[in-house]
Amino acid sequence: MKAEKEAPSKAKIISLILLLMCLVSFNSGGVLAVNMTIPSTLIRGAVGGEALLSVRYTSFSLDLPVIKWQLKREKSVTVVQSIGTDIIGTLRPEYRDRILVFENGTLLLHNLRLSDDGTYDVEISITDDTFTGEGSITLTVDESISRPYIDMESASVLELSQNVVLNCSHDNGTRTTYRWFKGGKPLTNVTRFVLSSDQKLLTITRVLMADDDIYSCTVENPVGNMTSLPMRLTVYRRSSLYIILSTGGIFLLITLVTICACWTPSKKKKKHPARKPLSRLHDHSDHSPINHTDGGLPKRTEHNGVNAVTSLYILQQKDPSMDDSSSNSIGSPSELENPPCYNSCPDYNGFLPHSNGSPAHSSHRYT
């Protein structure tokens, strides 16, 4: 009898244990809790764009969910709270007209700002459910990159110069990373090519002729990337001949400048017309009288039927610039006292006496 009584009591205990196990497994299946799933925990957005913070939840309750989004700061900031799609209360000024909540709890942000960057916590609760669904999404907001350009001190360098620094510059962009290319191939830290910690600066130590090539840089951030226009780095060979030629050219230039500065133009000698020889006087009794317009030639005059010739000798004034020999040949005293007589000139000294410094006309006739 005792054995028969103990058997039903054991069966009841086992059934109770099984019932409790079923209840535990039933509760663990989420019947009394909101189950939430988040497709992506990292969302990237650009300034002025949109960001969709997507979530999903499941519940056996037909009641509307209460959705709450908060932005993590030193003190969490409530972004929006709603029942279903109906927003509860008043939004903060920085979120007005920029927020949209969907029935599944997804949050859409319009006209993104840099201040929207951060981690967002979401809670979805239903009154019939014991546990609320919780999750978090990280939103990064970046500024779009403008086209970069390469800065350097000079357009060309000499071989074996100490350092040449290339700077990949750009006007806009946040959270940027940089990559360098030489001749279209990526550059890494090697012996003479040194990249800064953020790879924005490329330093070439002791430039060689092999570094004469085309360089470019690419700037990237979470919302895009841009590549600069290629830049040609021109390297000139430095040799002893180059230095000698350069030094010689500079010395020659200084010499020419010094000569030009010290040179003064000399006075040119005055050019005088050549002395005209006295025209030979020809006189024949049977020739017609000679008329000359030149005052320096002898003139033929007629007096009482006799042709007479007046000889006029022109003496040139001595020019100081002429040498002594020429002055002696022109103005020597012997020539002044005894003027030359030409063979063709007849001798009229016998019948052309002078009176008061002027020639007198004679009345003698030829015999």
Tell whether 281 and 213 lie within a shared domain.
no
Domain final residue, candidates 110, 142, 174: 142
Range of the domain at 307: 277-319+326-367
In sequence order, the β-bridge partners of residue 232 are: 214
Tell whether 206 and 227 lie within a shared domain.
yes
Tell whether 121 and 163 lie within a shared domain.
no
242 domain-assigned: no
Per-residue pLDDT band for 246 (boundaries 50, 70, 90) equals confident
Task: Tell me the pTM.
Answer: 0.54
Tell whether 339 and 310 lie within a shared domain.
yes
CA dihedral sign of residues 316, 320, 326, 328? positive
286 domain-assigned: yes
Each residue of 213-235: pLDDT tens digit?
A: 999 999 999 999 999 999 998 88
Tell whether 359 and 304 lie within a shared domain.
yes
Looking at the chain, the whole-number percentage of residues with pLDDT higher than 70 is: 61
Query: End-to-end CA distance of the chain, in Å?
Result: 220
Domain final residue, candidates 175, 204, 236: 236
Report the number of distinct structural domains present in the chain. 3
Each residue of 6-41: pLDDT tens digit?
A: 445 666 676 666 555 545 444 444 446 888 999 999
Residues 109/122, Cβ–Cβ less than 8 Å: no
Tell whether 153 and 84 lie within a shared domain.
no
Tokens 């009229």 identify what position?
348
202 domain-assigned: yes
Weakest mean pLDDT among 32-46, 71-85, 273-287? 273-287
CATH number at residue 195: 2.60.40.10
Domain final residue, candidates 93, 111, 142: 142
Distance of CA 350 to the CA centre of its chain: 102
